[in-house]
Every structure is written in structure tokens, then in C-alpha cells.
Structure 1
């Protein structure tokens, strides 16, 4: 019988979480949204301009290592 009570308690806690009755549950924190948006911007820039970015970085590194 104690196992059944534990299962009922776990189901009640899950139902509370799903209903949104948890006072500590809130919106997505700002830092998470900023991180996701930054990653999306990096991908949006990197995908169409990948070859140009790689060439620019390669040229910059070559000029630094050769003293150029």
C-alpha cells in the first residue's frame, strides 16, 4: 500500500506541474532567449557567407604568420 501512495503522490505532483500551478515555473529566462537568438543569428550569417568568411580568416591568418 505505501508504494501505491507514492505513485499517487508522484502523479499529483506531475498533474500540478502540467497545470502550471507551480509558483516557481515562469517564462523562459532572458539569458536563454538571448543565447538561442545569438546562435540563430550566427547560423543565419554563416550559412550563406561561409566561403567568404573562411577565405577572410585564412587570409588574415596568412598575413599575420608571414609578417605581411
Structure 2
């Protein structure tokens, strides 16, 4: 399954919401430095979709706020 996400790093709390267009808005506490925000993003999505972290792959937008994520079902 592929989802489109918009990441907001340096937020006061980590949370996941979905807007009316089906885009996931993900607030992260981590700063976008040294891949910390991407690590937190993968952890949050793995928990949200109940999969292992290794099953969450950033397909597009590694250094962008807008990303395409692939979640591999086991």
C-alpha cells in the first residue's frame, strides 16, 4: 500500500491525522537533521499500521516534507 504524507518536524507533540484529500499529516518532535525525523516517521507509521519498521519504506521525498511511503503487508 502506498500513502502520501506531509511531515511537520519540530512539533510540540508527535501525532498522525488524515485530511479530507486522503493525505496523512504527520507531526514529529524530531528535527529534520541527520535523518532523525525520517526515523521517527517510520516508527510512528509502523505503530499506526501495526507492521515492523522494516516494512515501512520512504519511496519518494527522502529530504522533502512531502513524501510517498510504501507499507509492505506481511
TM-score normalised by length of structure 1: 0.26
Larger Rg: 1
Task: Judging by fraction of residues, say which structure has more strand.
Answer: 2
Task: Judging by fraction of residues, say which structure has more helix.
Answer: 1
TM-score normalised by length of structure 2: 0.24
